[in-house]
Amino acid sequence: MFAFSNHPALITVTQGIQDAFSFLGTTWKKWLPAAIAVAVFSMIVTAILGRAVTTDLYYQDPYTGDVFWNNDLLRRYIVASVAGGLATGLVTVIASWVFNATAIAGLRNRPVTLDTVIGRGALSFVASLLLGLVVAGIAIVSIIVLVVVSVAAHALGALLILAAVFVGIPVLIYVDIRLIFVTLAIFDGFGVIDAFHESWRLSKSAVLRMFGWGFMAALIVLGFEILGGIFAAVFSAASGTEPVATFITSFFSMIATVLGVYMMAVLYESQRARLDPNLYGPLPMQVAPGYGYGYPPTPPMGYGYPGNPPSPYGYPGNPPSPYGYPGNAPSTGIPGWNSGAPTAWPTPPAPTAPGGWNSGAPTAWPTPPAPTQWTPPAQWAPPAQPPAAWPAPPTPPAPPSAPTGQPDAPAPQPPASTEPPAGS
């Protein structure tokens, strides 16, 4: 399965090369047998037919300068070249079917089957044949027009030839870029005609980007070709080792081919993600300058769950007031404070987009430690034992007694009543 180092819509050519190399290493059991089969077949063809030397096809008399062709050797060289080239080309095309099927299977997380390789491969061959016929027809018509105009007017014919060279070549490059996804689209499930439409749709407003990706892929392929040629040159120097040199050259060529297919598969999915945002969801927003986008470590602002914890409370920290208990949490925060909310943020669901992608970061938010329940302070209560009784007040002292020898003062008598007695 392809593991993208960034959101597919934002992936760069450098990241695409890294992802292609990564997928090359994880799927070696699928592409390596096909690459070895092509290399072995090329080695066998070279061993059987031999490598003809063109200088042996003719003889030039040093005295007269006449050239004499070796018709038997020339006939055998033509047959060997055509037969060997067709056989090797057929095996190479089938291997390319395996590479494209493996790339799409990695994007869609599905197995590579023989029916897919043969069936979709046959449709891609029909598409290539149809495209070749269209290009050949346009070229033939253009040549006929140029010849007719050149015969009628030499000056105008020369101008048309220059225009065809300086205008026709860029047009052909442009069309080739716009239709570069036809084979991948067919292996992705499109029909022949629909694949042309899909490639044209995905390449809309992205010609320069695709040209840059293709240029980098061409450089990588060229590098593998040069590396294979260096190793093959060691064996080509010795007599009778041409088949081994052919094996090395073909093997490195197959590695370059499969890597180029994987790069185009990354670009194919990137264009799909740009034009169809629902495939992988909204683009993640940059967290801070220099930190990149990342996915899924930092949820984009405004969507997802647990959303954006309010600053400066942190995570999980103190939920913002005024909800929960005991009301407004102190601004300084209480470690482990809980308002009755869930004890942990739920794990977000895994990406459901085809192929998926990963930046090497965790695929889910780490579960925070379970907060402890905040306990309110206990209310004041009277002591268990009542307080001791208050002490009795002291007894007041007795009044002082009369002096000795003096009669006690008579007790005061109440005044006589002025009311008449009862019954009078």
> For the chain, what percentages of helix, strand and coil (3-state, to nearest 5) are there?
55, 0, 45
When pLDDT is cut at 50, 70 and 90, the band that residue 401 belongs to is low
Q: What is the mean pLDDT of residues 126-142?
A: 88
Q: Any idea which of 41-50, 149-158, 240-249 has the lowest mean pLDDT?
A: 149-158
Q: How many CB atoms lie within 10 A of CB 51?
A: 13
Residue 65 located in a structural domain: yes
Residue 23 located in a structural domain: yes
Nearest CA to 309 among 235, 365, 351? 365
Per-residue pLDDT tens for 149-175?
Answer: 777 766 676 777 777 778 778 888 899
Residue-level pLDDT at 108: 93
Instruction: Please give the backbone phi and psi of residue 43, each rounded to the nearest 5 degrees, phi first.
Output: -65, -40
Q: What is the mean pLDDT of residues 315-319?
A: 41
Element (H, E) at 68: strand 67-69
Number of domains in the chain: 1
pTM: 0.63
Residue 328 located in a structural domain: no
Q: What is the mean pLDDT of residues 348-377?
A: 56
Q: How many CB atoms lie within 10 A of CB 285?
A: 11
Residue 81 located in a structural domain: yes
| pLDDT-above-90 percentage for the chain | 36
Give the domain range for residue 218: 8-279
Residue 168 located in a structural domain: yes
What 8-state DSSP symbol labels residue 59?
E
Per-residue pLDDT tens for 66-92?
Answer: 777 777 777 777 777 788 888 889 999
Residue 55 located in a structural domain: yes
Residue 312 located in a structural domain: no
Residue-level pLDDT at 27: 94
The CA-atom distances, in angstroms, between 226 and each of 35, 95, 108, 250 are: 17, 21, 33, 12
Secondary structure of residue 299 in the 3-state scheme: coil
What length is written for the chain? Answer: 424
Residue 189 located in a structural domain: yes
Residue at token pair 């990564």:
22
Per-residue pLDDT tens for 190-202?
Answer: 999 999 999 999 9
